[in-house]
Structure 1
């Protein structure tokens, strides 16, 4: 099923309303799926519309925040991640060598979605990036924004 929304544009229903865009983030261009969480009836919350408008009106600032935030997050968790790996792991050394090196950290990430979840607080605009990452294949990384400011970086489920 497809619709054309006055703000979101053309969307296809696929476990939420989706469309693909190209986005430059983490020093690469990704084809990213925008996923607006709603049922097949395509009734969107006003907060989702506002979140979409504000997020994309200042997308470059959101990208910059994500790039800076992911470096801090990576540096804060990577020692623990490495401790869980086999001590002879070449991958562990690769992860350690990337610490404090944004270009190397970014190589471990693939941005998959921009999520605009349902939100029932009239004063809150919520959005975020869902990424796959090589250091935690099972959980990935989520970068959650509230009112266009990063509120949390953690597992993908912070946005799901």
Structure 2
């Protein structure tokens, strides 16, 4: 089943609405899945449109903030796992967001249905070299990073 939404575009229903698209991320094209949570009737909340439109309007300016939050998370994870002392090839020493960009790939944007947060709620998912199984996710509320963790924090 497919719909053509005025904001999200052409979406396919597969246990949730999804569209595969290309977006620019830190100077490179990224193939992503745009996932919009909702019932199979294709009706979305006004808040979902507002959250998505706000994200897209500020997309350029937000990217460095994503990278800094992910870098902070990575350094903390590395330390908690003891890899700041013991060498682990998956958790190499990195200091800059440019080094981080070599290790992450943007794979998805999630627009949740409005059931948990009052704020504009968006999830961003990444694949990452240091945790292939769990990936990486960030949750944004009102376009600010509020949580960084495994991919499931974004879903």
- TM bucket (normalised to shorter chain) is 0.7 to 0.9
User: 1:55-86 CA distances to partner (integer Å, 9 max, x unpaired)?
Assistant: 11111122222122212221221233454xxx
Structure 1: which 5+ residue stretches go unaligned? none
Q: Name the structure 2 match of 1:60.
A: 60
TM-score normalised to structure 2 length? 0.86
Aligned length: 154
State yes or no: 1:151 paired with 2:151.
no
Q: Name the structure 2 match of 1:135.
A: 130
Shift of 1:15: 2.4
Shift of 1:105: 1.8
Q: Aligned with 1:34: secondary structure?
A: strand
C-alpha distance in structure 2 between counterparts of 1:34 and 1:135, whole Å: 24
State yes or no: 1:110 paired with 2:105.
yes
Alignment map for 1:37-116 (pairs within 5 Å):
37-81=37-81, 83=83, 89=88, 91-92=89-90, 95-97=91-93, 99-116=94-111
8 Å CA contact 1:21–1:33 kept in 2: the answer is yes
8 Å CA contact 1:27–1:103 kept in 2: the answer is no
Structure 2: which 5+ residue stretches go unaligned? none
Instruction: Answer 1 or 2: which has greater helix percent.
Output: 1
